[in-house]
């Protein structure tokens, strides 16, 4: 999608500490405009109790959702994933359900930030659904911004995640990242 950005990242990779997040799993495929109410309805957002969120995730999408969610799956979706509310329960519910990552053609911005902040890997790629059959094995590499499909040996290239966001994700989210940062700042003083 963006060769310039990829090259630039490659150069940066030599000078800065290389972080990498590589995940593989079964593809759980969904459509466009999956909004935060579909991910987790407002009525379940009184708290952020992990088990409660996991129980009701994607409930409004109905029983005829073609594919059952399994722990360890990687969610593959279309455009504008996570549009709607700023509720952090949306990425929390996806994480609580045991999904490893979300790959989509595009994300709503608050969802994207929230996901990284709570430590759920997310990656935007051009048209991932066109290349993947529901249920097949895929591998995502956030540092490279790539998705690999085992069946076809195809590698779909997106934009690599900026190193400072990879750092937040590798630390497990913004809270852990900030704790670490503040601690090291204190030490330096």
Partner 1 sequence: MHSTISEKILARASGRERVAPGDIVDARVDVALSHESARLAIKAFREIGVKKVWDRKRLVLLFDHRVPAECEETAVAHGMIREFVKEQKIPNFYDLNEGVCHQVLPEKGHARPGELIVGTDSHTTTHGAFGAFATGIGATEMAAVWATGKIWLKVPETILIRTEGKLGKWVAAKDLALFLVGKLGAEGAEYRAVEYRGRAIASMSMGSRMTLCNMAMEMGAKAAMVEPDAKTSAFLKGRTSGKLSPVNADRNAKYEFDITIDIGKLEPMVASPHSVDNVSPVKEVEGTEVQQAVIGSCTNGRLEDLEAAARILRGKKVPRGVRLIVVPASRETLLDSMRTGIGGRSARGRCESILEILVGAGALVPNPGCGPCLGAHQGVLAPGENCISTTNRNFKGRMGSDGARIFLASPATVAASALRGVITDPRKVMK
For the bound state, the minimum distance from the C-beta of residue 75 to partner 1, rounded and expressed in Å, comes to 18
Question: Quick one: DSSP state of residue 72?
Answer: T
Closer to partner 1 by CB, 4 or 153: give it. Answer: 4
d(CA 157, CA 3): 9
Q: Does 80 bind partner 1 (CB under 8 A)?
A: yes
- Residues binding partner 1: number (CB under 8 A): 38
Binding mask 25-64 for partner 1 (x = CB under 8 A): --------x-xxxx--xxx--xxx----------xx-x--
For the bound state, the minimum distance from the C-beta of residue 48 to partner 1, rounded and expressed in Å, comes to 6
3-state secondary structure of 163: helix
100-119: contacts with partner 1 (CB under 8 A): 106, 108-110, 113-114, 117-118
Residue in 145, 101, 146, 134 with CA at minimum distance from that of residue 27:
134
DSSP secondary structure of 25-60: EEEEE--S--BHHHHS-GGG-SS--HHHHHHHTTGG
Closer to partner 1 by CB, 151 or 179: give it. Answer: 179
Q: In the chain, which ranges are E strands?
A: 22-29, 74-77, 101-104, 122-124, 137-141, 146-149, 154-157
Please give the residue ranges that form the binding site for partner 1 (CB under 8 A): 33, 35-38, 41-43, 46-48, 59-60, 62, 79-80, 83-88, 106, 108-110, 113-114, 117-118, 162, 164, 173-175, 178-179, 182
């Amino acid at each position: 999608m963006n060769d310039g950005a990829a090259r630039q990242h490659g150069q940066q990779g030599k000078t800065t500490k290389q972080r990498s997040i590589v995940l593989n799993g079964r593809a759980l495929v969904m459509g466009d405009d999956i909004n935060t109410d579909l991910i987790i309805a407002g009525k379940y957002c009184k708290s952020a109790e992990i088990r409660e969120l996991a129980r009701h995730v994607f409930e409004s999408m109905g029983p005829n959702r073609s594919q059952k969610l399994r722990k360890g799956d990687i969610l593959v979706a279309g455009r504008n994933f996570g549009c709607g509310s700023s509720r952090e329960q949306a990425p929390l519910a996806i994480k609580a359900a045991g999904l490893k990552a979300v790959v989509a053609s595009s994300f709503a911005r608050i969802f994207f930030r929230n996901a990284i902040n709570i430590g759920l890997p997310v990656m935007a790629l051009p048209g991932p659904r066109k290349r993947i059959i529901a249920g097949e094995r895929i591998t995502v590499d956030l540092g490279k911004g790539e998705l690999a499909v085992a069946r076809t040996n195809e590698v779909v290239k997106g934009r690599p995640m900026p190193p400072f966001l990879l750092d937040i994700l590798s630390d497990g989210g913004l809270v852990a990242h900030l704790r670490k940062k503040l601690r090291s700042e204190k030490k330096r003083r």
